[in-house]
């Protein structure tokens, strides 16, 4: 059986042979493949040079350099409404792997149905075509926006799945477009529709999954509570599953107030009559980002007042001190570095350092994070550093 170390060596060797830009990063650090093998042998995984997540940003104009388009696949694109989205190329094997990861993280085995507070995957083709116009050099490639990974994942899990977003208001969208506002206007389920669906599960005493973008989910359920002015009696049969961030109050086209996680849990417990003892199982959050193929599942911890995450089984996560490059101690914060023990064919995303910060709760034998929490965006980050150097080196060769 192939060990994780052997898989990691194979994956990094593939990156070195396939992507000139990763060779440039190794060159900056004065490392060769043999050095990487020694690092892995010594279990000092955090020393493996990473791809800076910012390198995939549209503004860097490196996304084609970071893509192995010799393999058939698709560009995975983060939200175009972010202003500077990432573009990551996935082979169809990579795509299947990533979708399966999303599906597993968003799956609540007890539930056969639920409501997705997200965009239905039927929107995918329309939105892909619209977004594709934003990018030069992608004429011959398919594109799948990240907003549909969650939808495609949950549709594998739930037979009776309803979406809060039901369609586009064509006339209003056209009217807005003529006025210079290119954002579409959506149709949503009414409060009465939401009530009817949830009440059906309550009466049947069946578990229900309520999941999606937290900004959309939270505002919809608060509106429902104000509308009905009473609570449900679902108890431990209500599962609240969130992902894709948004706790800061901003996610793509959705903008609102910052959401306090502790208060969010308390309000949802009140609305659905969820007993405190079920919170650590029934409130789940997924951490993932465009530039990495793995997803990481967290469960709400009442004492922490936040979600406690564990790494995906195919990965290791390090919480790194940005100045020293070393793993932080338990209780300290640092930037997130994700290592994936799998060869990714389309892009050099085996080791990615993100500009997200987390607090290390518990570390393992090799300084890796076993549990982490309080994920938030790095403050004051400005694009600079090794990724720019790597781009310069690439252009010189």
Cα radius of gyration rounded to whole Å, the chain: 22
Question: pLDDT tens digits, residue range 203-216?
Answer: 999 999 999 889 88
How far is residue 36's CA from residue 44's CA, in Å, rounded to a whole number? 10
Q: Which of 64, 63, 98, 58 is nearest to 82 (CA)?
A: 58
Q: Are 48 and 5 in contact (CB under 8 A)?
A: no
Encode pLDDT of 45-77 as tens digits.
999 999 999 999 888 889 999 999 999 999 888
CATH number at residue 25: 3.40.50.12780
Number of domains forming the structure of the chain = 1
Among 26-35, 121-130, 367-376, the range scoring the smallest mean pLDDT is: 121-130
Kindly give, in sequence order, each residue whose CB lies less than 8 Å from that of residue 36, ignoring residues fewer than 6 positions away: 9, 12, 26, 48
Nearest 5°: phi and psi at 341? -85, 55
* Separation CA 225–CA 230 (nearest Å): 7
Average pLDDT, the chain: 87
CB 330 within 8 A of CB 363: yes
Q: 324, 323, 355: which is closest to 337 by C-alpha? A: 355
Angstrom distance (rounded) from CA 262 to CA 265: 5
Q: Which of 4-13, 151-160, 240-249 has the highest mean pLDDT?
A: 4-13
pLDDT for residue 396 is more than 60: no
Question: Rounded to the nearest 5 degrees, what angle is found at the Cα of 179, between the Cα atoms of 176 and 184?
Answer: 20
Q: Which two tokens stand for residue 66?
A: 């970071």
Q: Is 9 helix (H, G, I), strand (E, B) or coil?
A: helix
Determine the distance from the C-alpha atom of residue 288 to the mean position of all C-alpha atoms in its chain, rounded to a whole number: 3
Q: Which of 199, 201, 206, 202 is nearest to 228 (CA)?
A: 199
Average pLDDT over residues 376-394: 52
Domain that holds residue 114: 4-396
Mean pLDDT throughout 182-200?
Answer: 88
Three-state DSSP at 32 gives coil
pLDDT of residue 354: 92
């Amino acid at each position: 059986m192939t060990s994780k170390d052997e898989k990691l060596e194979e994956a990094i060797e593939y990156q070195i042979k396939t992507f000139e830009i990763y060779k440039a990063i190794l060159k900056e650090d004065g490392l060769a493949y043999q050095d990487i093998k020694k690092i892995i042998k010594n279990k000092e995984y955090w020393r493996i040079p990473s791809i800076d997540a910012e390198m995939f940003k549209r503004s860097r104009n490196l996304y084609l350099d970071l893509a192995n388009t010799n393999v058939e696949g698709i560009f995975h694109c983060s939200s175009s409404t972010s202003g500077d989205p990432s573009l990551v190329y996935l082979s169809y094997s990579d795509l299947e792997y990533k979708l399966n990861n999303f599906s597993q993280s968003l799956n609540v085995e007890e539930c056969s149905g639920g409501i997705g507070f997200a965009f239905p995957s039927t929107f995918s083709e329309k939105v892909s075509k619209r977004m594709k116009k934003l990018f030069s050099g992608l004429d011959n490639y398919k594109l799948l926006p990240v907003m549909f990974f969650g939808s495609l994942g949950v549709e594998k899990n739930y037979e009776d799945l309803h979406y809060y977003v039901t369609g586009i208001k064509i006339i209003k969208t056209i009217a807005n477009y003529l006025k210079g506002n290119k954002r579409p206007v959506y149709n949503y389920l009414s409060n009465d529709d939401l009530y009817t669906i949830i009440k059906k599960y309550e009466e049947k005493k069946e578990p229900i999954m309520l999941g999606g973008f937290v900004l959309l989910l939270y505002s919809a359920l608060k509106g429902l509570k104000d509308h009905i002015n009473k609570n449900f009696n679902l108890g431990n049969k209500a599962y609240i599953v969130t992902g894709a961030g948004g706790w800061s109050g901003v996610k793509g086209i959705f903008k609102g107030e910052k959401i306090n996680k502790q208060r969010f849990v308390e309000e949802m417990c009140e609305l659905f009559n969820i007993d405190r003892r079920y919170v650590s199982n029934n409130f789940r959050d997924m951490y993932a980002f465009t530039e990495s193929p793995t997803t990481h599942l967290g469960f709400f911890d009442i004492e922490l007042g936040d979600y406690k995450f564990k790494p995906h089984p195919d990965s290791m996560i390090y919480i790194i001190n940005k100045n020293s490059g070393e793993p932080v101690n338990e209780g300290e914060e640092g930037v997130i570095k994700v290592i994936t023990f799998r060869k990714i064919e389309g892009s050099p995303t085996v080791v990615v350092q993100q500009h997200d910060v987390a607090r290390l709760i518990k570390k393992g034998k090799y300084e890796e994070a076993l549990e982490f929490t309080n994920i938030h965006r790095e403050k004051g980050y400005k694009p600079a550093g090794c990724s720019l150097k790597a781009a310069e080196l690439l252009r010189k060769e």
